[in-house]
Amino acid sequence: MTTTTTTAPAPDAAERATFESIDPATGDVVGVHPVHDETDVRAAVARARASADWWAGLGFDGRREVLTQWRGVITRRLAQLCDVVHQETGKPHGDAQLECALAIDHLAWAGSHAEKVLGRRRVSPGLLLANQAASVEYLPLGVVGVIGPWNYPVFTPMGSIAYALAAGNTVVFKPSELTPGVGTWLADSLREVVPDHDLLQVVTGYGETGAALCRAGVDKLAFTGSTATGKRVMAACAETLTPVVIEAGGKDALLVDEDADLDAAAEAAAWGAFANAGQTCAGVERVYVHERVHDRFVELLAERARGVHAGTDVEAKIGPMTMPGQLDVVRRHVDDALARGGRAVVGGAEAVGDRFVQPTVLVDVPEDSEAVTEETFGPTVTVRKVRDMDEAVELTNAGKYGLGSAIFTAKRGDDLARRLRTGMTSINSVISFAGVPTLPFGGVGDSGFGRIHGPDGLREFTYAKAVTRTRFKAPLNLTTFERTPEQDTMVATLLLALHGRATQLPKLPRRPVETIRGLGGRRRG
């Protein structure tokens, strides 16, 4: 297992601080990694800077070829990568393969569509500057820093890494201290394709390493993690005016209308709430169900929840909690919900163990409880009865998070989706938006800002370059001290003809005499 090196003399192995990555299901040591300090991080950024011009200079075709080769390496060694994910997160191999497959698909899309999205294109100069040829293109920033999470250690950071690389940037990636081996594997696989240039480097360690990356002079930093940590990342980046993309927490809601396919809705709710042991930023944590179908939906969801269990056996559908400290959060939220009048239809306080949490379905939970207002990040879900979808929308939007959402309905999907204050919505499915490479991914409110994936995700790692070129001498030159009063009159006449039509001015409604007199005015007309 290789790691990034430094330009400064490397300390002896005995002198360098290291840390272990642990299999959360067994407690076994999976690997040992260096704790990179500020000097190491700055050296990695410097190497990335030295390779940035070469990478940008390859152009869209050259970069697409490299990314295609990298995609091939990842695909051919998919089982190997999935095993690293499984060991460091504890998730089943099938779930690891699913996230890797989605990452590969996004990598393919970014590499093949970068030119269409970012390449130079002509735009209209307008009538006043008709003598100019105008164009815009999107150029790489240079070096992008990425701080990734542990819950989806391939798919989530690749949403930034793949798009930043396709846009022409080099990348320095700091994976979670819980999944450093995954990040190292990705960097090593790209280095096999391009051994002589530092396109993707990994720096490993704890929060101090991430803070060093924020201050190391990258041109933009993409962060995925909790809202609290996102705020600290922003504060560190603000010291050097480094722009950021923040993909933070979520408390996603699923709305079930009276005309919904309840079997499909219950199956989707179970997957959205319990898959990956509930450790999904855009997973389902709240469900609002129309009162006419509420009881039947709860029965169906409970039935599916009882068919899922966490463990290490071959029948287990979900694995352990990857971060041990998250067990305390889940336990606190469940206890608070029960203490305040909620009921556990499935699971409950006893479902929270030392490493695993069994699926838990809570009903009658107050809206101001922690299980409803704060991100739980475990295999638990609250279900609330609502009088109609208007109330469901109101309750959904009342939360501080606004990442994703889902709606099950036969007729009103588009209308309800538009009213939800979330960055993404799936209609009659859950989390589908994350797997579509052409769609942007990101939230509002405490869920962060900026977008990865899709055309927006490519542009996120560029800056717009606007260019004008004079094609012929302007008959009416506006940018000269030799402009005459006659020419100013011509400009005013032209503006009036273009933009001053009287029909564009709406007529004011005539108000009643009593209203006018009450305001101390006089009747007009």
3-state percent breakdown (helix, strand, coil) of the chain, nearest 5: 40, 20, 40
Count CB-CB contacts under 10 A for residue 53.
Answer: 12
CA 6, chain centre distance (Å):
31
d(Cα 126, Cα 123) in Å, to the nearest integer?
9
Which residues pair with residue 33 across a beta bridge?
19
Sign of CA dihedral 179, 320, 264, 406: negative
- Name the token pair of 307: 């068919």
d(Cα 108, Cα 112) in Å, to the nearest integer?
6
Roughly what angle, to the nearest 10 degrees, separates helices 78-89 and 93-118? 120
Amino acid letter, 66: V
Which residues pair with residue 172 across a beta bridge?
145, 201
- Name the token pair of 458: 């490519």
* Dihedral angle computed from the Cα positions of residues 87, 89, 90 and 91, in that order, rounded to the nearest 10 degrees: -110
Amino acid letter, 141: L
d(Cα 256, Cα 295) in Å, to the nearest integer?
12
- Name the token pair of 514: 């009593």
DSSP H stretches of helix in 242-379: 262-274, 294-306, 326-339, 370-373
d(Cα 441, Cα 500) in Å, to the nearest integer?
41
Q: Residue with structure tokens 């008959």? A: 475
d(Cα 427, Cα 176) in Å, to the nearest integer?
32
Q: Beginning with the edge strand found earlier in the chain, give each strand of the sheet holding 244-247 in spatial order.
A: 200-202, 170-174, 143-147, 220-224, 244-247, 448-449
Sign of CA dihedral 142, 147, 149, 150: positive
H/E element, 230? helix 227-238
Catalytic residue flag (residue 291): no
Residue tagged active-site, from 247, 285, 370, 375? 247
Task: Please identify every residue annotated as catalytic.
Answer: 247
